[in-house]
Amino acid sequence: MADTSQRALRLLSLLMARHQWSLGELASRLGVSERTARRDIETLRGLDYPITTVRGPGGGYRLDTGHALPSLRFDDDQALAVAVALQTAPSTVFGLADDSARALETLTQAMPARVRASMETLRLTRLRNYWEFPAPPVDPDTLTAVAGAVRHRHVLAIGTLRPDGSRALPGDTDFAPARRVEPHHLVVWAARWYLVAYDLAEEAWRIHRVDRLVPRPTTQPFTARALPGGDVARFVMTSHDRGDTPTAWPCTGTARLDLPAGVVARWAPGGSVVEHLDADHCRLTLGAWSWAGVAGILATFDTGITDVTPAELVDACHRLAERWSAAAGPTS
């Protein structure tokens, strides 16, 4: 009975992997006779899997779309990919958070131990932002190395790539030697991956863009530290230095805002840069498809704005001011 069940699952996996199979191909893949393969097909049909017989030359069997979602069978890589996707899918559709969490829990329970361990390595925190912008893809090896160090509490040596993704070499003006950090949290926010880590040389907490890291794992263990404030979401969203560089937009400008850097950092678009000036002021660098777009985003902060550059952004601010004035009508 156990052999029959295993063959049925293997047969189901084959039918899901390709549009159509001949009986001979299925029997060969299963290592059984055609008569046994035909019996296994009937077993799946008895479990309500819609398997259709295709008649004529070149015929065979195919798994059709049924009226209900059948049980699915994934290989290890497919299961891991689905688990990561459920955690990192952009928050562009409202009302699916609970469903995604339930789906992830169901998938996790069905995973063999080896796959569950890999998935737990990539367990992360996802934060929400009102802006979602495309981010550079993260190298899978980099992500695995960083996630593994977080999970196993091992010190991580990290180098940093240039903003264009190239690696600085010794002798370059922007070369920085690898730093040793204690990696505590892996976070996804505004479609970007961040590492929250304690820098051993600076003796301070830092946030790093994972797509700009060159990690070198170690086996040196460390003891978990208490994050300032204890809230990783707030720490990431209110930190003005997250290792971000301006996204490559057609129009990029800067302005001085009469707000603390921590406030602006929480709501600034991903890929923008917030520079701390003093307790009540910061400088925001951001981009958009047009100068009016940059000016419009600046206006959403509803505060005093000065030192606007470049001149194209200043002109856009004047044009929007005229439009808003006309739209508001005469002052009562």
The phi and psi torsions of 146 (rounded to 5 degrees) equal -65, -45
pLDDT surpassing 90 at residue 116: no
Extract the tokens encoding 43: 């077993």
- The structure tokens 């996804």 sit at 188
Q: What pLDDT score was predicted for residue 90?
A: 45
Q: What pLDDT score was predicted for residue 124?
A: 58
Q: What pLDDT score was predicted for residue 67?
A: 47
Nearest to 207 by CA among 232, 231, 226, 229: 232
SS3 per-residue string spanning 148-192:
HHHHHCEEEEEEECCCCCCCCCCCCCCCCCCEEEEEEEEEEECCE
Give the pLDDT band of residue 246 (cuts 50, 70, 90).
low
Q: Determine whether domain 251-328 maps to CATH 2.60.200.30.
A: no
Q: What pLDDT score was predicted for residue 170?
A: 66
* Percent of all residues in the chain with a pLDDT value above 70, rounded to a whole number: 77
The answer to whether the pTM exceeds 0.85 is no
CA 208 from chain centre, in angstroms, equals 14
Q: What pLDDT score was predicted for residue 315?
A: 96
Q: Which residue has the higher pLDDT, 197 or 266?
A: 197
Count the alpha carbons within 13 Å of 183 in the hemisphere toward its beta carbon.
Answer: 33
The structural domains of the chain, with segments of one domain joined by +, span: 2-63, 76-123, 140-234, 251-328
Q: Are 238 and 295 in contact (CB under 8 A)?
A: no
Query: What mean pLDDT do residues 102-118 have?
Result: 73
Q: Distance between CA 271 and CA 288 in Å, rounded?
A: 11
Q: Distance between CA 286 and CA 246 in Å, rounded?
A: 6
Q: How many residues does the chain have?
A: 332
Q: What pLDDT score was predicted for residue 2?
A: 46
Written as one string, the DSSP assignment of 285-296 is EEEESSHHHHHH
Give the pLDDT band of residue 215 (cuts 50, 70, 90).
very high
Write the pLDDT tens digit of every residue in 122-166.
665 655 544 445 556 778 788 888 988 998 999 999 988 776 667
Lowest mean pLDDT among 85-99, 162-176, 272-286, 318-332: 85-99
pLDDT surpassing 90 at residue 204: yes
Top-level CATH class of 2-63?
A: mainly alpha
pLDDT surpassing 70 at residue 3: no
pLDDT surpassing 70 at residue 250: yes
Bridge-partner residues for 188, per DSSP?
126, 193
Query: What mean pLDDT do residues 176-200 have?
Result: 86
Q: Distance between CA 158 and CA 217 in Å, rounded?
A: 8
* Percent of all residues in the chain with a pLDDT value above 90, rounded to a whole number: 30
Nearest to 190 by CA among 46, 318, 327, 90: 90
Q: What pLDDT score was predicted for residue 89?
A: 54
Q: Distance between CA 41 and CA 26 in Å, rounded?
A: 10
Lowest mean pLDDT among 89-103, 166-180, 189-203: 89-103
**Mean pLDDT in the chain?**
81
Does 215 sit behind a cis peptide bond, omega within 30 degrees of 0 on the bond before it?
no
Query: What mean pLDDT do residues 274-298 have?
Result: 91
